[in-house]
Amino acid sequence: MIKPTLRNYKRPVYITDYPTGPNCESGHLVDKNSGWRTFRPTINLDLCKGCLRCYLLCPDGVIFKSNSKVDVDYDFCKGCGICAHECKFKAITMTKEDKE
Amino acid sequence: MKYEEKMFVSGNEAVALGVCLSRPHVISAYPITPQTVVVERLSELVEDGSIDADFMHVESEHSALSAAMGSSAVGARTFTATSSQGLLYMAECLHYASGGRFPIVMMNANRSLALPWSIYGDLRDSLSLLDSGWIQVYVEDAQEALDMIIQGYKIAEHKEVLTPFMVNLDGFVLTHTYELVQVPNQQEVDHFLPPFETVNKMALDAPKSLGFSSTPQDNLEFKYQQHMAMMKSIEIIEASDREFGQRFGRTYGGMVDAYKCEDADAVLITLGSITGTARIVIDQLREEGLKVGLFKIRYMRPFPVNEIRELGRKVKAIGVLDKDISFGYEGTIFTNVNSALVGPDSPKVTMNFVGGFGGRNISKAEIAKMFHDLLFAMKGKPYDRVNFVNLGVKTNEIRK
């Protein structure tokens, strides 16, 4: 699985530490966004047929192939639920995140 | 001055020549009266190979500036032009371009805003966008228009400025009138304006994410940076004017152009082409022995605050001629001038003359009357803060 490169965002100290206008080097993220999630997709591997519909439709590209079925990169899944909605075999269920 | 050529051209054609000499890579513009000729000439110059540029046909002004930003983002020298309703239609993109620090040069033909619909000139279009983060220069004649396109790139692309640049010409009065213009030699322009170099761009070997969002933690810093770049541009504007003068023999005074202000009691502040008419009035009134002067503001952003304070210390009365109004208050130039004068530099009298809307002419006699009003007010006669010039009817206060 190809995961986005995470790089720590160093807070600027001087104004010249900022780029000229809002731009930066491409190809990395500064934060995981698992914290955005209210509901978490869980894949029932007994029901999953490995059709890859969810893999194709995930807007964030966080579903990946795993042993001829699929798995989720929970670091970057935002919990939108499209995978569960689209699964023809009801193999994906959304469960409330336990946030403390 | 070397190898210059004289040409008899309109203000619009002078702009097109200035663009041609600046060697842009991309021209992205949508035609609108009274700017249309600029777009027509540039498309012809691209077609016949005089400019090695891509001419982008776009479906609107919003797209014109959006496309200009895209090309500027890869380090291309980019030009666009508009007017009036078109400028307002691209208003969203104006802020985008300045916030993204894309040094685009744009010509704007100053024209009235609807309603009532009018194709004729006043300054209500560009002055309503003073806060969009663009450098704004107002030119008096076709020569200054041509020269300021070239200087515009020099200033906008300076690494400490990187701010888009708007060259404003009065619609019709300047865009459609013809005059003899000195066209600089290409080699000389190339020396004055080398190719655009910046690290602040998207490149194949250094891909960038451009135009990202910011949280409240960083937004203010980006805007502070933009403000400081604009303040810095004052120095660059003055240096550019001096260097242009050394190379081409023409200087314009930098931020402002003062005419017979040294010993003046009353001074009128103007923008753009009306300044030419006002110069003649000054000469006439000087012959009559009146101590009057003229002060042309060239740049509205950045604003010539120091020059105006210095003027305020020297004179007794300042009049501001506004071809615009912020309804419910006063002319926008007047507001800006007065805020610079707050404190010990304020002269005894400041008066606002509002008029010339939608192509209404302002005659020499009316300008002379402004000076007489200023001189009377200076001697203690009661006066109004905001005065409409040349209303074609009587107002109802004096209806019998």
**CA separation for the pair B365, B367 (Å, rounded):** 5
- ipTM given for this complex: 0.85
Residues B278 and B205 in one domain: no
Single residue among B248, B268, B289 that ends a domain in this structure: B248
How many domains in chain B?
Answer: 2
CATH of the domain at B381: 3.40.50.920
Query: From the CA atom positions of chain B, what is the Rg in Å?
Result: 21
**Residue A5 bridge partners (DSSP):** A28
Q: What is the pLDDT of residue B400?
A: 64
Residue to mutate among B162, B212, B228, with most A CBs inside 10 A, is: B212
Q: Give B116: exposed, middle or buried? Use CB within 10 Å, 0-12, 13-18, 19+.
A: exposed
B372 touches chain A (CB under 8 A): no
Q: What is the pLDDT of residue A1?
A: 73
Cis peptide before B216 (omega within 30 of 0): no
B384 touches chain A (CB under 8 A): no
Question: Residues of B with CB below 8 A from A19's CB?
Answer: 200
Q: pLDDT tens digits for B175-215?
A: 999 999 999 999 999 999 999 998 888 999 989 989 999 99
Q: What is the pLDDT of residue B70?
A: 96
Q: What is the pLDDT of residue B97?
A: 98
Residue of chain B with shortest Cα separation from A21: B100
Q: pLDDT tens digits for B37-51?
A: 999 999 999 999 999
Q: pLDDT tens digits for B296-313?
A: 999 999 999 999 999 999
Residues B276 and B372 in one domain: yes
Alpha helices in B48-141 (DSSP H): 61-72, 84-89, 91-99, 124-127
Residues B174 and B275 in one domain: no
CATH of the domain at B149: 3.40.50.970
Q: Which domain holds residue A62?
A: 5-96
Residues B99 and B194 in one domain: yes
Q: pLDDT tens digits for A51-70?
A: 999 999 999 999 999 999 99
In terms of pLDDT, which residue wins out, B258 or A8?
Answer: B258
pLDDT band for position B55 (50/70/90)? very high
Q: Is the pLDDT of residue B241 over 50?
A: yes
Residues B309 and B363 in one domain: yes
Residues B188 and B263 in one domain: no
CA–CA min distance B158, chain A (Å): 12
B160 touches chain A (CB under 8 A): no
Residues B369 and B243 in one domain: no
**CA separation for the pair B24, B22 (Å, rounded):** 6
Q: Which domain holds residue B323?
A: 256-398
Residues B98 and B161 in one domain: yes
Residue of chain B with shortest Cα separation from A12: B218
